[in-house]
Amino acid sequence: LRFGRFDELLQVTNRPKSPIQAGLWDFATGYAHLKQGAPDFAALYLQRVKKTAETSKAMVRVHTAKNLLGVVAGILEGEIARTAGDLPKAIAAFQAAFDLQEALTYDEPEPLPFHAGHWLGAALLEAKRYDEAERTYRKELDHHPHNGWSLLGLKQALDA
């Protein structure tokens, strides 16, 4: 998923059995379907992520599955809405994911290899809400000062 190899991801058919791993697998599969032009399948996997988040008692070190899967569900929900052209709904979903991720207990290594701020900032830029995008990227850069995606987003917000 990190490298955009969606075709290869969709060839994996063995869904993990443990709830945290299964929820992340559903997120990645849904995201891949969305990027391959199948938003209905993406929505199906989003529902699976949400269901796992609500029912799982699993923990990843100090993090509940509910919180971690809540972040990725918000990202997938936002990206589905953004793809459908519903930018306000996308921003709301990304903001919820961002807030949830910001509230996670500090942990190394971080439980997710990406930050919801990347999606939120990009949607805010698309909505021409440049000041909010700048604040989003700056907040993310407080945690990851050398993150190239956030540095690029901040540059774009400042240029705009």
Residue with tokens 């996670």: 104
pLDDT tens digits, one per residue of 118-155: 999 999 999 999 999 999 999 999 989 999 999 999 99
Given this model, what pLDDT does residue 2 score?
64
Given this model, what pLDDT does residue 1 score?
59
CB 100 within 8 A of CB 135: no
CB 148 within 8 A of CB 121: no
Query: Is residue 15 over pLDDT 80?
Result: no
Q: How far apart are CA 94 and CA 114, in angstroms?
A: 13
Query: Is residue 38 over pLDDT 70?
Result: yes
pLDDT tens digits, one per residue of 59-113: 989 999 999 999 999 999 999 999 999 999 999 999 999 999 999 998 888 999 8
Q: How far is CA 137 from the centre of its chain?
A: 15
Task: Identify the helix (H) or strand (E) that includes residue 61.
Answer: none
Rg (CA), the chain: 15
Given this model, what pLDDT does residue 120 score?
98
Q: How far apart are CA 69 and CA 121, in angstroms?
A: 20
* One-letter identity of residue 68: L
Residue 66 in 3-state DSSP?
helix
